[in-house]
Amino acid sequence: MSDHLEATSRPAPDEPPEVTGHLSRSQLVGLALASYVPPVGLAAVPALILTTAGNGSWLGALIAAFGTSLVGLSIISFARRYVVTGSLYSYISHVFGPWARILTGAALFLGYVAQVGAIAFLVGLFSGSFLLSVGVGSGFDIGVQMIIYSGAVLIAAAIAYRGLGTSVRSAVTLATVSVPLMVVVTVAAAAHSGLDLGAQLSFEGATTSGIFQGVAAGAVFLVGFESSTALAAETRDAKRAVPLAVMCVPAGLGALYVVATFLQVPALTAASDALAAGTSPAAALAIEGGLGSTVATATDLVLAIATFAALIGFVNYGSRFVATLATDRLLPARTGRIHPRHRSPATAVVTISVLGLGAILVMAAANPDDIVDVYNSVATLIVYFWVIPYLLICAGAVKLLAREGRLGVTAVVSAVAGAAAMAWMYLNGLINPPAAPLDAMSYVALVALAAVFAVFLITHRLTSAPASDDTHH
């Protein structure tokens, strides 16, 4: 590998040379799953969906899992053919022109920045709840939270800086050790509070718009599931390993979150006062399940540490994506430089970490009295930023398969249905806006995307002449 990461973001032959990397299939799948930290998803997804979907939460979780899985089928059409470092940004160039590539690049750039900030916030949420439970009343003070965010991003960036080997070991270990505890908490809460089947199956009190707002909330822990494609060039037998890594998140974790939502909703409803007081969903579930305050406190601490797995994963994914943008001259070329010893995109690691941390610090400072609203806003933005790339990749899969003469009914139906589910998550926010400040996120996402797209488009036009003389590795 040269001073810059290899990128296949410009049109390339249908069958580019296979790149042999050092990551095994199990390592790639492990990092893909660990990056979504299943125990944190178990603790957060049901609570996020519940705020708008109520007794329809399980259906919201199901639609989110099914919709993203359908998008995944379109994505693996590309993953089986191309080895890339720029995720959807690289794939889309094989079927559409520069406008689609640049638009996808702008959306994913914003999406990865928001992901890093949102995950750092989750570390702060669980840490704050832990501090609150041990008698430190300042755990949710804005100053303390900012220190936690900064420390979390700094540690994750340091691990990512040292290369993929360290990242994979750290992320998988952190995620694995915390799974049993969250499973016990969920089962205990369900056993103690019951399932309230009548209310959940009849959607008592739920509305259609609320359920679809819940879909967007639940999708926060699923969108970006294709990020492991950015590591394809560093993976052995990538055309087989990457599709498996891509689908294990929406299909595997998505199904897990549906079950968890169904089990947790009655207990979370009963714990509404504790949640409003700042107790984390996991700690509230432990108390409702009769496990006691000691287990609740331990759960917060374990999840705060485990959330580093997601932060490590997305700093790695985002940095490789940023390095690809640099290789294509949409960002300064030095951003794509490779560390001579660790072989990591070191400058890109620093870039994505600083931007993600900066975004969450600014948003938290702007709303210090209700930082939970900050997380909900950033989480909503993550979903909205990924909508356009998913719409384009679904359309691109249809075009790709048609070009090869392999387009069938199943591919068309899955692409159309997946694109429709993603589009409606955004449109529902306009047609049936949630309460403030979430109602503004539809417009914030649109304005931010338009601004970054314009900058990237201008940059592309200014550099297209010298770029055309480049020879990609």
- Domain CATH for 308: 1.20.1740.10
Asked if residue 465 belongs to a domain, the reply is no
| Residue scoring higher pLDDT (473 or 336) | 336
The pLDDT tens digits of the residues spanning 212-229 come to 888 888 888 888 888 888
Counting the structural domains of the chain, the total is 1
In a domain, residue 473? The reply is no
Q: Please write the tens of the pLDDT for every residue from 312-332.
A: 878 888 888 898 898 888 988
Least confident of 64-78, 173-187, 344-358: 173-187
> Is residue 156 domain-resident?
yes
Residue 32 in domain: yes
Whether residue 126 lies inside any domain: the answer is yes
**How many residues are listed for the chain in this entry?**
473
Check whether 8 has a pLDDT greater than 60: no
Q: Which residue range(s) make up the domain with 423?
A: 25-456
Q: How confident is the model at residue 247 (pLDDT cuts 50, 70, 90)?
A: very high
Question: What span, in angstroms and rounded, lies between the C-alpha atoms of 382 and 386?
Answer: 7
What CA–CA distance (Å, rounded) separates 97 from 297?
52
Largest CA distance in the chain: 67
| Over residues 334-352, mean pLDDT | 77
Q: How many CA atoms lie within 13 A of 101 on its CB side?
A: 22
CA distance 337 to 439: 40
The verdict on residue 404 lying in a domain is yes
The pLDDT score that the predictor gives to residue 468 is: 44
Q: Is 292 exposed, middle or buried (0-12, 13-18, 19+ CB in 10 A)?
A: exposed
Could you tell me if residue 136 is inside a domain?
yes
Q: Which of 247-261, 358-372, 384-398 has the lowest mean pLDDT?
A: 358-372
Contact 84, 90 (CB under 8 A): yes
Q: What share of the chain in percent tops pLDDT 70? A: 89
Mean pLDDT is lowest, of 220-224, 251-255, 306-310, 392-396, for 306-310
H-helix segments, 80-207: 88-92, 98-133, 142-161, 164-193, 197-201
Residue 443: predicted pLDDT: 94
* Structural domain includes residue 15: no
According to DSSP, residue 252 is labeled I
Are 392 and 113 a contacting pair, CB within 8 Å? no
